Amino acid sequence: MAPKKLYIKTYGCQMNVYDSERMAEAMGGEGYETTERPEDADMILLNTCHIREKAAEKVYSELGRYKGLKAARPDLKIGVAGCVAQAEGEEIMRRQPMVDLVVGPQSYHRLPEMEAKVRTGGKALDTDFPEEDKFDHLKGRPKAKRGPTAFLTVQEGCDKFCAFCVVPYTRGAEVSRPADRVLTEARDLVERGVREITLLGQNVNAYHGHDGGLAGLIHALAEVDGLERIRFTTSHPNDMDEALIEAHGTCDKLMPYLHLPVQAGSDKILKRMNRQHTAEQYLRLIERLRAARPDLHLSGDFIVGFPEETEADFQATLDLIEAVEYGSAFSFKYSERPGTPAAERPQVPEAEKDDRLQRLQALLTKQQRSLQDAMVGRDVHVLFEKPGRLPGQMVGKSEYLHAVHVETSGIVPGDMARIRIESSGPNSLKGVMSPL
Ligand code: SAH
Ligand code: SF4
Ligand code: F3S
C-alpha cells in the first residue's frame, strides 16, 4: 500500500517546531510520510500558536483555505494541534466543523489512536495534561540522517504567570525531562549528523532535571563527542543562577549568545507585568554575564503598549535598550489575551502602540546592524548548514548566530571553519576562509 501523506504547518515558537517533528515521527509509525503539499495530503495538521490575537486568528483563515480540498476529498482529515488547540478545544470544531481532530501540546503522543478514530468517521479531541511522559511514547524515531542543527526540548510549561501571557495556560506547569533521557536523545541526534543543539524550554533555565540545574545539564552535554555547540532558549532573568552565568565563561561549547527577554524598562510596567524584577536588577545581571563572557551577544523580547504604559514608561524601555545594546531582538505590540489579567486593564490606543513599536524597532535595528557591522575584519567560527542562493556559496551561522555566506568549494553542511568576515549586508555577513 502506498504510504499516506501528512502535511504539517507549524506556527509559533521553536518548541512547536520540535513538537511538529515528534508528531511526524509518531504518525510515521502509522504509515504516514510527510509532504510539503497540502493538496497531496491524507491528513493536514496545523500546529498552532495562541500568543497574540493575530497568531490565533491565522489558524481560522488557514482552515478556510482547505475548504475546497476537503469538499473534493471528504476522506482528507484535518487536525489542529498546539496552543490554540489547548486554549480553544471544542470551540474550534464549533467554529470550523470540518476539523476532525483537536490535540493539545501535552497529549500529542496519543495522535495515532486519535487518527484511527477519525479514520472511521469520528471526531477526536484531547486537551488533557496526562500523567504519563509524552516523550517516552515517542521513542523509536527513525535513524534518518538530519541537518547539523537541532532543537531538543528539555523543559516545558511555565509557572511565572506574566500578566499578558497565555503560555502557563496552554503549556501547563513547569516540567523538566530527566537529564539521562536528554543525553540519550542528544547522542542519538549527534549520531544522525547534528553538531549543534538548542535546548528548549518555555523557561529553560528553570530546568531541574539535573542536580546541577541547566548548567549541570550543559556541562554533561559538553562531554558528548561530536556535539560542537550548545545553545538554550528561552530564559527568564530570575532563573539565571550563578552556575549558569559561570558556564558562559567556562564551557567552550556553550555559544556566546543569550536570549534573555526583559519585555519593558519601566519598573511600574515590569511590576504590572508580574515579571518579579526591576530594570536595574536586569542590568546588573547583564553585567555579571558579560563579566563571565565579555563577547556575549544578547537578544531580547519587548512588548510596547502594555496597559497603562505612558510615554515616560516607554522611554524607560528605550533607555534600557540603549544601556544593554542588543545583538538582536523581537518586539511586539501588546495583544489582549482572553483570561489573562492584563486584558482587564485600561488599554493603550492602537495608534500609540504603532508609533512606539516603530520607534523601538528603529533603535533595535540600529543596534543589531552596528553589532553585525562590527564583525567585519574579525574571525568567527561558522557551522555550515546549507548551500546559499548563489552557486558555489555555503551559508552557516557564527557563534553569535549571525548568518555567514562563504563562496567556497569543498565545504559541506555540518563542516565548521574559521572565517574572516569581509562585509556586512542587511541580514547577513560575507567572509572567506581565514588565512590563520
Ligand atoms: N518564555 C517564553 C515566552 C513565550 S512568548 C518562551 O519560551 O519563549 C514569546 C514572547 O511573546 C514574549 O517574550 C513576549 O515578548 C511576547 N508576548 C507574550 N504574550 C504577549 C501578548 N499578550 N502580547 C504581545 N506580546 C506577547
Ligand atoms: Fe509567558 Fe512569562 Fe512564562 Fe515567558 S515567563 S512563558 S512570558 S508567563
Ligand atoms: Fe505560541 Fe504556544 Fe509557543 S502560544 S509561542 S506556540 S508555547
- 88-124: per-residue pLDDT in tens? 999 999 999 999 999 999 999 999 999 999 999 899 9
Q: Give span(s): CATH 3.40.50.12160, the chain.
A: 4-126
Q: What is residue 295's DSSP assignment?
A: T
Higher-scoring residue by pLDDT: 359, 137: 359
Helices (H) and strands (E) in the chain, counts: 14, 19
Q: Residue 73: pLDDT above 80?
A: yes
Query: Ligand 3 mean position to 15 CA, how many Å?
Result: 7
Predicted model pTM: 0.96
Percent of the chain with pLDDT over 90: 90
**Among the bound ligands, the one closest to the CA of 52:** 1
In CATH, the number for domain 379-433 is: 2.40.50.140
Compute the distance from residue 175 Cα to the ligand 1 centre, in Å.
19
pLDDT digits (tens, 9 = 90+) for 17-58: 999 999 999 999 889 999 999 999 999 999 999 999 999 899
- Mutation probe of ligand 3 site: the residue of 10, 83, 175 with most atoms within 8 A of C-beta: 83
Say yes or no: CB of residue 105 within 6 Å of ligand 2. no
Write down the pLDDT at residue 161: 98
By most ligand atoms within 8 Å of CB, the mutation choice from 8, 11, 13, 108 for ligand 3 is 13
SS3 label, residue 274: coil
| Ligand 1 atom closest to Cα of residue 235 | 1
pLDDT in tens, 287-310: 999 999 999 999 999 999 999 999
The whole-angstrom separation of Cα 424 and Cα 407 is 15
Ligand having the closest approach to the CA of 238 = 2
Question: Cα(369) to centroid of ligand 3, in Å?
Answer: 28
Q: What is the mean pLDDT of residues 178-190?
A: 96
Q: What is the pLDDT of residue 142?
A: 60
Confidence at residue 143, expressed as pLDDT on a 0 to 100 scale: 67
Largest CA distance in the chain: 66
Stretch among 131-135, 171-175, 225-229, 338-342 having the lowest mean pLDDT: 131-135
Q: Which residues contact 280 (CB under 8 A, 6 or more apart)?
A: 267
* Contact 229 CB / ligand 3 (< 6 Å): no
Name the residue with the closest Cα to ligand 3, atom 1.
Answer: 49
Beta pairing class for 229-233 and 196-200: parallel
Q: Whose CA is nearest to atom 2 of ligand 2?
A: 162
Q: Which residues are within 8 A (CB) of 310 and not within 5 positions of it... i.e. 6 or more apart?
A: none
Q: Is the CB of 168 under 6 A from ligand 2?
A: yes
Instruction: Give the model confidence (pLDDT) of 318-332 as tens digits.
Output: 999 999 999 999 999
Q: Where in the chain is the domain with CATH 3.80.30.20?
A: 144-325
Least distant ligand from the CA of 83: 3
State how far the alpha carbon of 419 is from the alpha carbons of 297, 304, 402, in Å: 18, 38, 12
Pick the CATH number of 4-126 from 3.30.70.260, 3.90.1150.10, 3.40.50.12160, 3.40.1260.10: 3.40.50.12160
Report the candidate in 196, 189, 203, 166 with the shortest Cα–Cα distance to residue 56.
Answer: 166
Instruction: Look at phi and psi of residue 309 and say left if phi exceeds 0, alpha if psi is from -120 to 50, else beta.
Output: beta
* CA 294–ligand 2 middle distance (angstroms): 27
Parts of the chain belonging to CATH 2.40.50.140 = 379-433
The pLDDT assigned to 390 comes to 86
Atom 7 of ligand 1 has which residue's CA nearest to it? 202
Question: In sequence order, what DSSP letters do the residues of 396-424 get, joined into one string?
Answer: EE-TT--EEEEE-SS--TT-EEEEEEEEE
Residue 161 Cβ inside 6 Å of ligand 2? The answer reads yes
**How many CB atoms are located within 10 Å of the residue 17 CB?**
15
The rounded percent of the chain whose pLDDT value lies above 70 is: 98
Distance 167 CA to ligand 2 centre (A): 6
Residue 137 has pLDDT above 80, yes or no: no
Report the pocket of ligand 1 as residue ranges, CB < 6 Å.
13, 51-52, 164-165, 167, 202-203, 234, 261, 263, 301, 303, 332, 334-335, 337
Q: Which fold has domain 144-325?
A: pyruvate-formate lyase- activating enzyme (3.80.30)
Quote the pLDDT of residue 410. 83
Q: Find the 77 Cα to ligand 1 centroid distance in Å.
A: 31
**Ligand in nearest proximity to the CA of 12:** 3
The overall average pLDDT reported for the chain is 95
> Measured from the CB, is residue 340 less than 6 Å from ligand 2?
no
**Could you tell me what percentage of the chain is helix, strand and coil, using 3-state DSSP and rounding each to the nearest 5?**
40, 20, 40
Q: Which long-range contacts (CB under 8 A, 24 or more apart) does 155-159 make?
A: 155/200, 155/201, 155/202, 155/203, 155/204, 155/206, 155/207, 155/209, 156/15, 156/105, 156/106, 156/201, 156/202, 157/202, 157/203, 158/202, 158/203, 159/203, 159/206
pLDDT above 60 (res 141): no
